[in-house]
Amino acid sequence: MPTYDIAVIGAGVFGSWSAWRLARAGQRVLLVDAWGPGHSRSSSGDESRIIRCGYGADEIYTRMALRSLALWKELFAETRQPLFHRTGVLRMARAGDPGSEATRITLARAGVAMEILRACELAARYPQMGLPGEDTYGILEPESGVLMARRAVAAVVDAAVARGVTYATQAVLPPPLSGPRLAALPAVSGDEIHAGAFVFACGPWLPKLFPDLLGRRIHPTRQEILFFAPAAGDSRFAPPHLPAWVDFIDPRGPFGVPDLEGRGLKVGFDRHGPAFDPDSGSRTVTAEGIAEARRFLAERFPPLRDAPLTETRVCQYENSVSGDFLIDRHPDYDNVWLAGGGSGHGFKHGPAVGEYVHARMAGECAEEPRFGLAAHGEARRRTVH
């Protein structure tokens, strides 16, 4: 196998954008994935992902999302693939919620377009939505929306290949435990991958490849996603009548995507499920998960209380202990970089992560302390949502 400047392991959203950006900088890049871009076991799979800029006081993620949205749009314009839907994204909160007030301030500081909608305005604009109280209000980002996830990842890989990246379907083994440089990475096939540097962007497989370093820092968890179909001809749950939405009132953490491309209303809950093995975990949704989603529909979208369940997904988060990304050099190898801890909220940020990975490897930017290994202990206390 030829020697590359950089081998990127994992063709999810972090790995594919890193490969794209490194190739743009003139590097000879190999991108490998065990099953393929956006495959069904990956955290970058599924049909859709929300892209929003509101992150409370975490301006770093607001600005990364804003930058990423611009780069996603550029890619889709170049490739002529309409994989971004400008549905708007609605953050729902109660009056006085400190996280939502911080979001409003941060969005204004970053120059993100937004509308503040009182309960009466929400009721008038979205009559198909049941509101949880008169003190409900919304922050609408009209320029944000939804990325068609698995196809978007495939588009990034195709664009990277067009820039000279070599893509291969290849499963790798954990690197040998000796430093200070990794000369070759063994593959399941018996081959070796030779490169001057390696970027491991393997999502929920990172703890498997680096168990001692990351086993207590990144925790894959089981997450269920369900799609419910409106009645024929009922357009109330599709854009422009309904945006994507994230609920910061309900402690279950519900979020959803409107009916796009005839897939139905997507519903999930942004909370950590049980521990999950991405290789062997069951990907059949539970009866309890379906029942909980139906209870939520009865409360928030009453016309869909008895809607047919048309699709389901079991995917995984691979959040770090805090929810911050983990993007840093391996402490034992000076040519090995780690990029993970993203799912749950990371998909949207792929382009900005790719830029950051390249800049750090090239010595063109200072380390962001929140992304460093030193900031990721073992106590699980998620602060990024």
Report residue 3's pLDDT band, with 50, 70 and 90 as the boundaries. Answer: confident
Contact assessment for residue 65 and residue 72, using Cβ atoms and an 8 Å cutoff: no
What is the C-alpha separation between 340 and 61, in angstroms, rounded?
Answer: 15
Q: With residue 255 as reference, give the H or E element that holds it.
A: strand 254-257
**Cα separation, 32 vs 18, whole angstroms:** 12
Q: Which helix (H) or strand (E) holds 293?
A: helix 287-300
pLDDT, averaged across the chain: 96
Helix pair angle (350-361, 59-79), 10° resolution:
100
Joined tokens for residue 4: 């590359």
pLDDT above 90: residue 146: yes
Sign of CA dihedral 343, 344, 349, 353: negative
Element holding 3 (H helix, E strand): strand 3-9
Residue whose C-alpha is closest to residue 6's, from 203, 201, 212, 214: 201
> Which of 257, 251, 237 has the alpha carbon at shortest distance from 94?
251
Which CATH number does 3-375 carry? 3.30.9.10
Query: Looking at the predicted structure, is the pLDDT value of residue 1 above 60?
Result: no
Please tell me the predicted confidence (pLDDT) of residue 337.
Answer: 98
Residue entry with tokens 């290994």: 373
pTM beyond 0.75: yes
pLDDT at 379 over 70: no
Nearest to 194 by CA among 184, 206, 186, 202: 184
Q: What is the pLDDT of residues 350-370, one digit of tens each?
A: 999 999 999 999 999 999 999
Q: Which of 22-36, 44-58, 234-248, 367-381 has the lowest mean pLDDT?
A: 367-381
pLDDT tens figures, 72-101: 999 999 999 999 999 999 999 999 999 999
